[in-house]
Structure 1
Amino acid sequence: MAASLISNALQVNFDSVMSFPDEGMVAMFKALESTRIRGFLGCPSVLYEQDLESFFSNATVHGDSVISCVQSKYVGIFEELFAGAFGLPTEGLTSMDEVPKDLVYDARIFLSPSGEPINWSKILFKILKEMVTKSSKQAKGFAAQICVLLKGAPDLTLGEAKTFPPLKILTVKTVGTYVAKNKNITAEEEADEPVEKVVKKAPVKRRPAPAVAEPTAKKKRTTMGRDAPTENNLAIFQVIQDVEPISIVPATSPSARRRAPKRKLVLQESDVEEC
């Protein structure tokens, strides 16, 4: 079953919740019962899934009635039929907008001094018309009530019946579980109240700010290697053509060197006689 068909649905087993040990909780359900809404909230909780889906898929609003096609048969629901099936009152206020939002859950106490009851027939039937309007996209919360109306339609045989989800029916057990969980949550919140702790933080040692040096002139970047050519070095020189070849003089060995002639000592006759 599509979850939207029962997402907002909630049923009440009044016979069970009236035996709840908490007086305040019992008083709340008695207040609901006194507004003559018990027949609506406590109707038989049986679901005919296939027929229920067909009803909402084909339902349209025509004036003050809701018309749908189920099992190839047209079914019409009028406000009078709707009120009679669940014993709803048809007098009093016709809109919940007339009740302050903060007092909706306490409407019984708020309205009793003025003597104005609530017209549940018109209010709930208005909600039903909004459910079947395609543009409203409102979740289908009247699943059990629609099944009751379809079951009472003449010449209509419904399909397989399924039980209503137990967690969506308020009984002594489900209400008791809800109350116990909320008490535990309250106790835990009181026990876990935050305690202010004074934590002394060690002083943070700050490093002295570094001395600001005077800005120095940026050095020019130099390139390693040869100096870049200048315009003077790029002058064009005339190339000399027809150069004579260089002659090669063969090297001479030391033995080939020319020796000076030895001088011979010639003695004269006069020199000999003197000796």
Structure 2
Amino acid sequence: MLFNYLANIAPGYPNITGSTFIVEGNPVTLTCTSYGGNPIPTVYWYQNNQLVDDTQTTTNGVTTNTYNFVADKTHNLAVFECQVDNNVLQNKLSTTWFFQVYTVPNQPTLTGSQSLSPGSMYVWTCISTGGNPAPTLILRIGNSQFSTGITKTSVLQSDKTHSVTITLSWAPSISNNGQTLYCDVKHPETRGNILQTASLQLTVTVAPSYIRILPSCIVVNEGESFTLTCEADGDPPPTYKWYHNDVIIHEGAVLTITNSI
């Protein structure tokens, strides 16, 4: 009489393959494989100690469980564990895996004064939220990046994203009039070389310190024409408007009247 005897054999140690980082909203595939074993083992997937998948296939002595899902913030650095068991060993075999979930930052906000006086100190603040990992923020005028007067802070939020703040303390000059202050957010993990940008256009002016009408006193006869000139300083040069009884009668520094008003 012939007997077929198949010995109980422990399964092979589980091997995991998958991504080490993924962008939020993209599909994820984690594959756990165990070689051999008699009886055929069961391959389990756990996330943070909770069973999430116990489906598997066995081909030519190789047992595989492929777990598919879509990445969200809760998966960032979560512990994924693959366990293998066929009741031969006293304890299940297991190995773990984790990955980072990259999250696109929200559009930045840039706040601060836009109407400025030269030589006075002002403060601007740019904030980027919702990104993971923390983005890089820079402040610039045109193509000139600020390297002084800058402070930066980064705070990890409860949803595992970062709130990054950059602050600029700066005293503009009259040469900055009409220029634009930019805040650029760099996040190559999700946006490659494409920047997120917020901006403020700056107006730098010197208020007039005096205004006068020349001649300061004039005597004319009725019906005669006369000319008045308004003078003022300031940078950029001021514009002039002449009023009579709260009504604009002329625009420009020189007013010529040909008849009595």
Check whether TM > 0.5: no
Largest Rg, 1 or 2: 1
TM-score after normalising by structure 2: 0.19
- When normalised by structure 1's length, the TM-score is 0.18
Query: Where is the strand percentage greater, Structure 1 or Structure 2?
Result: 2
> Which has a greater percent of helix?
1
Structure having greater relative contact order (Cα 8 Å, sep ≥ 6):
1
